[in-house]
Amino acid sequence: MSASFADWVSTADAVRATAKKLEKHAVLARYLGSLEDGDLVVAARLLAGAPFPRRDERVLSVGWSALSDVLLERSGKTGEDMAASYQRHADLGDVAAELIGEDPPRGDRVSLADVVATFDAIAAARGVGPKRELLRALLARSSGDEARYIVKIVSGETRIGLREGLLEEAIARAFGRDREGVGRAHMLTGDIGATALRARHDTLGEPTLAHFAPIGVMLATPVLDLAEVGRRFPPPYVVEDKYDGIRAQVHKAGDRVELYSRTMDRITNRYPELVAPLLAVPGSFVLDGEVLAFSDGRAVPFTDFQTRLGRKDVAAELRTKLPASLVAFDVLERDGRALLDLSLTERSAILRQIPLEAPILFPDQRAIAESGDPLAAALEREFAAARERGNEGLMVKDPRSPYRPGRRGMEWLKVKRPLRTLDVVVTGVEWGHGKRRGVLSDYTFAVRDGERLLNIGKAYSGLTDKEIAEMTEYFLAHTVRDYGRFRLVEPDTVIEVAFDQIQPSERHESGYALRFPRIVRLRPDKPVSEIDTLDEVRRIAGR
Ligand code: AMP
């Protein structure tokens, strides 16, 4: 028989209740070690906050309104209660626990197997009605505490929850394996559940990177000016243009090729013109690169190319007007061999052996060996040249560095346009004035501080009329609470805002305000977990 979900919940609660890492590990290790194989896989996946393993493409797609309907019904509370509770917690899972409270569940208690079986069924169900029914049946049998986690997972809120590193460490401890081995197997399999099982059975060593199981992309740290580069790591430096397009991880094996976004969504059919040229390359590979369009040898501005984003199938007309290219700047796997641990220099050598042909391109790579003033001068020249080619700025990489999936470190630095921008999430919207009457054009936005979102400003210029109209429709459908002029919305729309200065201010809960904020663009490619943080704001303000 499958273990009870209530035990899983007490474990998750116990982990949240202590700030001490070692205690967290001990609680998790004891629990994971006690489970049978099948439950171990499920429990680990749920602790990671996701209904399915990362390599799995299924999604629950239970909308906010279905979720809140079911919740209101289960708790017998009103929409007002729910809105008030949401204002307090800003997390639908905590809202669920509060609304249901001590109200006893009905029917058989829920097991771990019941939870996954319901998630499987919800993902497979078509239409809101059947999905809602499945969730309703599960929540009827759940206590308030159990509902907290079910709702968190369904609404995707635990994405910024239990850190993967913590879980990996606990798995290592539970089965007496080393931490590195667990982290590596996790990255290569794309499944924390399968990783836990491998740890138990001592089979962590498999060296293959799973095809069509996207892994996190390596991220870059912004530097505020070129002089900062020299303080981050010593020469030599590898410099590439920073292409302003869409990040793509390409997997090819046999006669299949897929492109994945940085959020690990499959985006292959947005760029059909890239498929044949990629398939034509012999052997298997995983590439990291940027999709963008070129016209007369210059990069097309992102805002022009972006019109293709968000469409599942691209009109033939657009395809011929703005055909996509892929600049492949890294290789993570080639013919069955994972290359992540090799240095950038070694990876680049392997990359350039791959017979890629237009529209798949290699980036122009330059090496800079100087330090001090000559370095700054060389970077200055490179930066200007990159801008001249229509690119956003420079990427400066450490040639000695391995590929670190999902990590933002100092080994890749990005130097963008001199204008400062922040990636933020919209938390509230307001009806516009004058010519913007009748559309939701004023956006309040927040930065991230751990799991919390803290407002930092409000902006109302920068988007096109068409974008504003589309956003209005979106926000109307994703309003959490309607205050008339102002609406609290689901915090999932990421935008990039530019500003002249950051100043301390009492006006917003972050304790800072932006001077002259304006919206640069929508960032549908960026998940909320990757927006800028309060720390970054402090860093900029501190200068
Ligand atoms: P940002 O999206 O502003 O955080 O900047 C990081 C992004 O720059 C990466 O996620 C890539 O999509 C993009 N990028 C553009 N050119 C390169 C390059 N040569 N190397 C690595 N990343 C690049």
Phi, psi of 198 (to 5 degrees): -60, -35
Ligand 1 centre to CA of 224 (Å) is 16
The pLDDT tens digits of the residues spanning 351-361 come to 999 999 999 99
Q: Are residues 445 and 533 in the same domain?
A: yes
The pLDDT tens digits of the residues spanning 15-69 come to 988 889 899 999 999 999 999 988 999 999 999 988 888 767 788 999 888 999 9
Nearest alpha-carbon partner for 209 in 158, 252, 248? 252
Q: Are residues 409 and 447 in the same domain?
A: no
Q: Which two tokens stand for residue 6?
A: 């209530």
Mean pLDDT of the chain: 90
Atom of ligand 1 minimally distant from the CA of 242:
16
Q: Residue 315's pLDDT band (boundaries 50, 70, 90)?
A: low
pLDDT of 320 reads 58
Give the residue with greater pLDDT, 395 vs 390.
395
Whole-number Å distance between alpha carbons of 65 and 68: 5
Q: Are residues 111 and 225 in the same domain?
A: no
Ligand 1 centre to CA of 242 (Å) is 6
pLDDT of 319 reads 58
pLDDT value at 174 more than 50: yes
Q: Are residues 359 and 236 in the same domain?
A: yes
**Cβ–Cβ < 8 Å for 505, 432:** no
Pocket test for ligand 1, best of 263, 395, 416 (most atoms within 8 A of CB): 395
pLDDT of 54 reads 72
Residue 416 designated active-site: no
Residue closest via CA to ligand 1's atom 11 equals 247
Pocket of ligand 1 (CB under 6 A): 220, 240, 242-243, 247, 262, 290, 329, 363, 395, 414
Q: Residue 160's pLDDT band (boundaries 50, 70, 90)?
A: very low
Residues 442-469: what's their mean pLDDT? Answer: 91
Ligand 1 centre to CA of 394 (Å) is 9
Return the CATH number at 467.
2.40.50.140
Q: What's the number of domains the chain is made of?
A: 3
Residue that terminates a domain, selected from 137, 155, 173: 155
Residue 160 in domain: no
Residue 264 in domain: yes
Pocket test for ligand 1, best of 240, 242, 497, 521 (most atoms within 8 A of CB): 242
Return the CATH number at 140.
1.10.3260.10
Residue 198 in domain: no
Q: Which of 77, 242, 416, 458 is catalytic?
A: 242
Residue 180 in domain: no
Q: Which domain holds residue 476?
A: 420-542
Ligand 1 centre to CA of 114 (Å) is 41
Give all strands (DSSP E) within 168-284, no chain letters: 219-222, 237-242, 246-253, 256-260
pLDDT value at 161 more than 50: no
Whole-number Å distance between alpha carbons of 186 and 195: 5
pLDDT of 421 reads 84
Give the residue with greater pLDDT, 117 vs 464.
117
Whole-number Å distance between alpha carbons of 243 and 247: 9
Q: Are residues 95 and 243 in the same domain?
A: no
Q: Are residues 385 and 427 in the same domain?
A: no
Q: Are residues 243 and 386 in the same domain?
A: yes
Q: Are residues 328 and 476 in the same domain?
A: no
Ligand 1 centre to CA of 180 (Å) is 27
pTM of the model: 0.59
Q: Are residues 317 and 275 in the same domain?
A: yes
**Cβ–Cβ < 8 Å for 278, 542:** no
Q: Are residues 403 and 305 in the same domain?
A: yes
pLDDT value at 373 more than 70: yes
Residue that terminates a domain, selected from 415, 437, 452: 415
Residue that terminates a domain, selected from 116, 138, 155: 155
The pLDDT tens digits of the residues spanning 496-533 come to 998 867 889 998 999 999 977 888 889 998 999 999 99
The pLDDT tens digits of the residues spanning 199-249 come to 998 888 766 687 888 888 999 988 877 888 998 999 999 999 999 999 999
Q: Are residues 266 and 397 in the same domain?
A: yes
pLDDT value at 460 more than 70: yes
Residue 135 in domain: yes
Q: Are residues 428 and 508 in the same domain?
A: yes
pLDDT value at 308 more than 70: no
